[in-house]
Amino acid sequence: MLHRKVIIAIADGIGDRPIAELDDKTPLEYADTPNLDRVASAGINGMMDPIAPGIPVGTDMGHLILFGYEPQDYPGRGPIEALGVGMEVQPGDIVLRCNYATVDSSGIVLDRRAGRIREGTDRIAETISGIEIDGVTFYLKSATEHRAVLVLRGTGLSDRIGDSDPKAPNDGSPYHKVKPLDDSDEAKRTAAVLNRFLQEAHRLLSRHPVNEARVQRGEKPANFILTRGVGRMTELTPISERLNIRGSCIAGESTVLGVAKLAGFKPVTDSRMTANMDTDIELKAELALRELADCDLVLVHMKAPDLKGHDNEPLEKAKAVELFDRLVGLLLRDMPEDAYLALAADHSTPCEVGEHSGEPVPIAICGPGIRKDRVLHYNECDGGYGGLGRLSGMDFVRTLHDLMGRVKKKGN
Amino acid sequence: MLHRKVIIAIADGIGDRPIAELDDKTPLEYADTPNLDRVASAGINGMMDPIAPGIPVGTDMGHLILFGYEPQDYPGRGPIEALGVGMEVQPGDIVLRCNYATVDSSGIVLDRRAGRIREGTDRIAETISGIEIDGVTFYLKSATEHRAVLVLRGTGLSDRIGDSDPKAPNDGSPYHKVKPLDDSDEAKRTAAVLNRFLQEAHRLLSRHPVNEARVQRGEKPANFILTRGVGRMTELTPISERLNIRGSCIAGESTVLGVAKLAGFKPVTDSRMTANMDTDIELKAELALRELADCDLVLVHMKAPDLKGHDNEPLEKAKAVELFDRLVGLLLRDMPEDAYLALAADHSTPCEVGEHSGEPVPIAICGPGIRKDRVLHYNECDGGYGGLGRLSGMDFVRTLHDLMGRVKKKGN
């Protein structure tokens, strides 16, 4: 079998809509993208729906699919975040995303982000991580700023529970008591032990030295843990194992790195990859090409286009696209001749929506023996005239795995 | 209901990739194909994935789908080969492909093909076919050269067993003892009786007159049976019965003829159909048109493009395509006016891969009332711009059955 290598360059949320202020072009059409167009011209193009037409996906789900899983493999955001921040998680663990928050004595949430606390969160986590209640051990790890991840490990647990996070923007809502979402004993038990843990954490945090110092400085104490994004870690065969390949992922964002670990890909990151406009694309390109020497499949991720879509900044989004174009130019310059370069995105984030939409994203593949089509530009319109047609994310990724010579034949 | 007839002309493995030595064209683009282009120009075109994008299929699976089955109907290669060589098989039978081989007294495989034995294999099969062990009857039938098919008939049998064929190219490996592949009593029993049969066959073949004569002539004796490709014959409703049609298949290859029998199609073959470049296309065209007089659906198969893809011979593959073009020209000349002619393939076999790939194949349909599109050429690029779009094999074949007026309305 002919085995070949692939780099997938992922522009998070790149898909958009025509915008009046950009002469009725999408940010991708408006931007100057000679390198993306080189890939389109030399390659085969199409449009990709991560799951199916009209279904918006989160960054975690979008990447789960780009790494080679199917939507039903999704373990929930919690487990992915846990892996992303370097926690060890086991099948069966219940995992939640958390915010350190400030609540008053009656439980009203005064600040969902505890004044965007930056310092001392590791000491806070240390104090309460490892607590055991009724046979369930709680592990807490702090992430960036006010964020943290909570793992519940024990028997008889369920992910069918609600959030303690009211998610309202500090409007005087109290935190929620965690409720079971079904009638099972497991859901009831999980909600009960988690509520006991949250109370115990509140008691310990209220008198924690980090918080006492904050209050003295007039800052908001991190005296409560708001939970959301619950998931149950599933038993998933890593994609690297399924395909018998070595994979690597270059990214600055913990969610993407979390999916990479789940998939058995080597997570490669650096503080110079900022998940924003000031990310170091030279470093990303260099690492992607270096990883490709040892690996079969490398994903290199850029977050900026998504951020500018969420912020409804079309011109800034076009600039983010040009940054992605330069990254792709660096890759093209030094790609090995017998490897494929693919362009993809996890989803669309139209500026006027400010959120992910279910519109498809353009895809392109260039490399040895590719069935070149007539498309000359990489964008949301031209992609519709490409030789790949309109594919689901699973079909697109399997197409790449097939070009790599890694998909088993059905029949004989 | 308007009932119409269809001929599907199948070019095995015709799909390929652009090749430098063919001016960066695929063999199909490079070849002179006025007749294929006539069908494309007069008809509607598209690209077909036998199962789904990026999934390579074997010839057996590819044809199973072209005859109208779904991938999950696949009974394994064994049963298809049995039907192809004219054995009678029943639902529940366990069927294996075999090689006559030469082993030494310690079980080392000296030649996986017993010196490509050609003569006397029917007498060998006669000697050991019909043996009964523990309520299981073994039927063996010789096919071309060193090939044979073995049927196990009895109760409590399973297809979850391994091969006795080590498949290594005569590198000093011993034959394998057949192992059960799961813990079921059925798998254990099947492996046990098959091992006893193989030993008994070895004992009988070692002193068989055909082999004694071979040894005297300095040739390798066919003293062992290597098994592989196990399958369990399933209870499948023939496609002809499902659609209430009469079908026929013109082919030189036993695998395709086996699928035809499974589907309830009349197998039509002749020694002048060689499954290679010297196949008699006049005869194929004549028989296809003659069969169409009595049938509703005729499949006519040409093997040569696949062979040239496996051998990585692009120019020869282009010649095989031109042979297919001439066959289609003969069909076009005498097609009844009210019948459809469809062009299809079972899978791609890119020369540079030398194996089946998961890339789609071009399809075209011309005939009465067809929704003509703007495509002028039958090839891997133009097909992507056709009115059929990108279809699965099941969708393509159902489209033909619908043009025949044979698909039941859903709802009322």
Mean pLDDT, consecutive 10-residue stretches, chain A (412 aa), reads: 96 98 98 98 98 97 98 94 93 96 94 92 95 97 93 97 88 93 97 97 96 95 96 94 98 94 97 91 98 98 97 98 98 97 98 98 98 98 98 98 98 90
Burial of B73 (0-12, 13-18, 19+ CB in 10 A): middle
How many contacts, defined by CB atoms under 8 Å, are there between A and B? 96
**B278 min Cα distance to partner chain A (Å):** 25
CA–CA min distance A289, chain B (Å): 25
Q: Residue A410 and residue B350: Cβ atoms within 8 Å?
A: no
φ, ψ dihedrals at B318, nearest 5°? -60, -35
A chain contacts of residue B357, beta-carbon cutoff 8 Å: 402
Chain A hits for B51, CB-CB cut-off 8 Å, are 410
Residues of chain B contacting residue A401, judged by C-beta atoms under 8 Å apart: 54
The amino acid present at B302, given as its one-letter code, is M
**Chain B residues with beta carbon closer than 8 angstroms to that of A408:** 56
Paired tokens of B385: 């711009």
CB contact under 8 A, A370 and B53: no
Q: Compare CB distances from A410 to B57, B354, B385 and report the shortest one's residue.
A: B57
Out of B51, B61, B350, closest to residue A369 by CB: B350
Q: Answer yes or no: do A398 and B61 touch at CB < 8 A.
A: no
Among A369, A387, A399, the residue with its CB nearest the CB of B54 is A399
State residue B194's pLDDT score. Answer: 98
Q: Which of B19, B53, B71 sits opposite A395 (nearest CB)?
A: B53
Q: How many C-beta atoms lie closer than 10 Å to residue A294's C-beta?
A: 10
Q: If interface means Cβ-Cβ distance under 8 Å, which residues of chain B face chain A? A: 17-19, 26, 47, 51-62, 64, 71, 74, 77, 229, 350, 352-359, 380-381, 384-385, 389-390
Q: Do B53 and A391 touch (CB under 8 A)?
A: yes
CA-based nearest residue in chain A for residue B229: A412
Q: Do A411 and B77 touch (CB under 8 A)?
A: yes
Q: How far is A3 from chain B (nearest CA, A)?
A: 9
Residue A130 near residue A247, CB atoms below 8 Å: no
CA distance readout (Å), B66 to B240, B405, B409: 13, 17, 21
Q: What spatial distance separates the first Cα and last Cα of chain B, rounded to whole Å?
A: 15
DSSP A243-285: HT--EEEE-S-HHHHHHHHHTTPEEE--TT--SSTT--HHHHH
Hey, is B41 helix, strand or coil? helix
Please state, in angstroms and rounded to a whole number, the distance separating the CA atoms of residues A383 and A358: 16
Could you tell me if B46 and B39 are in contact, meaning their C-beta atoms sit under 8 angstroms apart?
A: no
pLDDT at residue B144, as a whole number: 85
Cross-chain CB nearest to B358 (options A2, A368, A407): A407
A133: number of Cβ within 10 Å: 16
Whether residue B60 and residue A412 make contact (CB cut-off 8 A), yes or no, is yes
Q: Work out the minimum CA distance from A232 to partner chain B, whole angstroms.
A: 30
Helix (H, G, I), strand (E, B) or coil at A300: strand
Q: For chain A, give percent helix, strand, coil, nearest 5.
A: 35, 20, 40
- Residues of B within 8 A of A399 (CB-CB) are 53-54, 358-359
- Note the pLDDT of residue B140: 97
Q: Which residues in chain A touch residue B390, judged by CB atoms under 8 angstroms apart?
A: 388-390
Compute the nearest-CA separation of B223 from chain A (Å).
Answer: 26
What distance in Å separates residue B338's CA from the closest CA in chain A?
Answer: 32
- Residue of chain A minimizing CA distance to B383: A387
pLDDT of residue A1: 84
pLDDT per position as a tens digit, A125-183? 999 999 999 999 999 999 988 999 999 999 999 999 999 999 877 788 999 999 999 99
Chain A hits for B375, Cβ within 8 Å = none
Residue B84 to residues B66, B74, B182, B256, B357, Cα–Cα distance (Å): 16, 15, 29, 7, 25
Partner residue opposite A409 with nearest CB, options B17, B52, B356 = B356
- Least Cα distance to A158 among A182, A130, A138, A133 occurs for A182
> Distance between CA B168 and CA B175 in Å, rounded?
10
Of A385, A400, A410, the CB nearest to B51: A410
Q: What is the pLDDT of residues A37-62, one digit of tens each?
A: 999 999 999 999 999 999 999 999 99
Contacts of A370 in chain B (CB under 8 A): 17-18
Could you give the CA distance from residue A272 to residue A281 in angstroms, rounded to a whole number?
A: 9
Nearest to B61 among A372, A390, A411 (CB): A411
CA closest to B71 among chain A residues = A410
Helix, strand, or coil (residue A204): helix
Does the beta-carbon distance from A1 to B355 stay under 8 Å?
A: yes
Interface residues from chain A to B (CB-CB < 8 Å): 1-2, 368-374, 385-391, 395-402, 405, 407-412
Best residue of B28, B262, B357, B385 to probe chain A, by most A CBs closer than 10 Å: B357
Distance CA A265, CA A332 (A): 22
Domains of chain A: 5-74+236-403 (3.40.720.10), 82-232 (no CATH)
**Given this model, what pLDDT does residue B145 score?**
87
What is the DSSP secondary-structure string of B187-203?
HHHHHHHHHHHHHHHHH
Alpha-carbon distance of B295 to B287, in angstroms, equals: 12
B interface test, pick of A2, A41, A297, A410 with most B CB neighbours within 10 Å: A410
Smallest CA–CA distance, residue B119 to chain A, in Å, is: 27
Nearest to A402 among B58, B358, B389 (CB): B358
CB contact under 8 A, B53 and A401: no
Of B55, B64, B354, the CB nearest to A398: B55
Nearest to A371 among B18, B53, B58 (CB): B18
User: B60 vs A398: CB contact, 8 Å cut-off?
Assistant: no
The position carrying tokens 């090995």 is A336
Token duo for residue B373: 């599109």
* Interchain contact, A411 vs B57, CB within 8 Å: yes
Residue B61: list chain A partners with CB under 8 A.
Answer: 410-412
User: Does B353 sit within 8 Å of A2, measured CB to CB?
Assistant: yes
pLDDT 10s digit of each residue in chain B, 412 long? 899 999 999 999 999 999 999 999 999 999 999 999 999 999 999 999 999 999 999 999 999 999 999 999 999 999 999 999 999 999 999 999 999 999 999 999 999 999 999 899 999 999 999 999 999 999 999 998 899 999 999 999 999 999 999 987 778 899 999 999 999 999 999 999 999 999 999 999 999 999 999 999 999 999 999 999 999 999 899 999 999 999 999 999 999 999 999 999 999 999 999 888 999 999 999 999 999 999 999 999 999 999 999 999 999 999 999 999 999 999 999 999 999 999 999 999 999 999 999 999 999 999 999 999 999 999 999 999 999 999 999 999 999 999 999 999 999 8
**Residue of B28, B64, B256, B381 best to disrupt the A interface, most CBs of A under 10 A:** B381
Contact call for A409 and B380, based on CB within 8 A:
no
How would you class A90 by CB atoms within 10 Å of its CB: exposed for 0-12, middle for 13-18, buried for 19 or more? exposed
List CB contacts of A237: < 8 A, sequence separation 6 or more: none
**Would the CB atoms of B26 and A371 count as touching at under 8 Å?**
yes
